[in-house]
Amino acid sequence: MPGDILCPAVFLAAPASGQGKTTITAAIARYHRLQGREVRIFKMGPDYLDPQILEQASGHPVAQLDLWMAGEAYCRDQFYRAAQTADLILVEGAMGMFDGDPSSADLARTFGIPIVLIMDVKGMAQTAAALACGLANYRDDVEVTGLIANHCASERHRQLISDALPASLPLLASFANTPTIRLPERHLGLVQACEVREELETCFNAAAELVGASSLASLPPPVRFSAQSIAPPPRLLAGVKIAIAQDEAFSFIYPANTQLLTAMGADLQFFSPIHDTKLPAADALWLPGGYPELHADALAANTAMHGEIQQFYQSGKGILAECGGFMYCLESLKDLAGTRHTMLALLAGQASMRGRGGCQGMQSAVLPEGELRAHAHHRSQSENTPEPIGYGRRPKHPAPGESIYRQRGLTASYLHLFFPSAPEVIAKVFLPHTQIKDADRVRD
């Protein structure tokens, strides 16, 4: 097995969500990228929107890492691969530093990555130092090396916080609350990067200037990353063409999922349910999550695509529909304004957006073919749907998770699946049942 690699790395965590982790992680990445350095970013947890922002800032795809969803071996392999070419590795945490099981702190501890805290200090001064010290000393198996004060009102405000911190936990930088370094948001989090690219560039470059005038301009100490032996996936999808919806309405796609499908031999064909009128020639279809509620009128108007997908469904070929893709498969979708739009009607039922509430959390997708790790995150509900074939399984709660539906070759649910957690299972989901034995022979 190859030897260890040393690479500067830092884990950016916070006491809660909404503290500015993504903005500041993007700013650090953009600054070092402008210095000619290769910056690789990882996002803790099952997040689709933050990685889009961070990819634009760094110039490299951003992989999601989670010890429960992906496993320690997968995470270790991802870090090692990045360290081979990177000059700097950044990891953005999820929620609060100790929230969840496993938490951001658990991921940082497992791989020995030092943590820098990001804290929104609006409305407090010395108390910010007290909170930072409490987080830094809450567990003795994680190393916290500094604080970044976000929404700092003035030089005096910054000085009060800095003077209250111990020498072991310095104030590394402060960021003012200015519109030029604020990322746009909507109901599920940040706005997709593809919708606001020019606005993001202004934000990144303005924030990078603040990074350059702070201690963050220096590279953090190197971290030792070890190799992980992972067997290549079986080529169960050799020669299989998979059509994947990808446009403004459907963009919640893990890079790990498409990488796995390619490694298993699949030929991936991307198309737009909004703009295209024909499906690519394909043996299977994937309708991932996204924001169909924001583009429901355009989706409803593209009746030619409706016909294409309905015909594909009638053929009995494999279709996977996740969250937004699941809503697209229902008879109709009511958007946030209360307008109802006609959808594909592959499944009986209606979807409706809700202004508040919803579901969020990790679950296992329990399928006839086996189990995959997954998560749910939506602010909509479905009703009048068929009887589900099963439910998601929550890791530490007995209540049933999301409903899972199966009709013909269609598998549909609110769950977002992490394909590398069970490659053979996802291959069977995509393949028509009559071809599963043929695929098994391909693997041999």
CA pair distance 418, 425, nearest whole angstrom: 11
Q: Which amino acid is at 54?
A: L
Clarify whether residues 199 and 290 are in a common domain. Answer: no
Clarify whether residues 130 and 250 are in a common domain. Answer: no
Q: What angle do CA 108, 22, 192 make, to 5 degrees?
A: 130
**In a domain? residue 20:** yes
When divided into structural domains, the chain yields a total of 2
* Contacts for 336 with CB less than 8 Å, ≥ 6 apart: 187, 293, 353, 355
Catalytic residues: 323
pLDDT in tens, 375-416: 998 788 899 999 999 999 998 888 889 999 999 999 999 999
CA pair distance 164, 3, nearest whole angstrom: 42
**In a domain? residue 404:** yes
**Cβ-based burial of 374 (10 A; exposed 0-12, middle 13-18, buried ≥19):** buried
Percent of the chain's residues with pLDDT above 70:
91
Clarify whether residues 246 and 191 are in a common domain. Answer: no
Clarify whether residues 128 and 258 are in a common domain. Answer: no
**In a domain? residue 216:** yes
pLDDT in tens, 71-90: 999 999 999 999 999 999 99
**In a domain? residue 86:** yes
**In a domain? residue 27:** yes
Clarify whether residues 40 and 80 are in a common domain. Answer: yes
Clarify whether residues 98 and 17 are in a common domain. Answer: yes
Clarify whether residues 212 and 317 are in a common domain. Answer: no
**In a domain? residue 423:** yes
Domain that residue 215 falls in: 5-225
**In a domain? residue 248:** yes
* 50-55: average pLDDT: 92
| pTM as predicted | 0.91
DSSP 35-103: TT--EEEEEESS-SHHHHHHHHHHSS--EEE-TTTT-HHHHHHHHHHHHTT-SEEEEE--SSTT-SSS-
**In a domain? residue 231:** no
The enclosing domain of 202 has a CATH number of 3.40.50.300
Q: At what angle do helices 197-212 and 49-58 cross, to 10 degrees?
A: 60
Clarify whether residues 161 and 32 are in a common domain. Answer: yes
pLDDT in tens, 120-162: 999 999 999 999 999 999 999 999 999 999 999 999 999 999 9
Q: What angle do CA 174, 175, 177 make, to 5 degrees?
A: 140
pLDDT band at 2 (very low <50, low <70, confident <90, very high): confident
The enclosing domain of 325 has a CATH number of 3.40.50.880
Clarify whether residues 174 and 253 are in a common domain. Answer: no
Tokens of 235: 């080529």
Of 173, 201, 225, the residue that ends a domain is 225
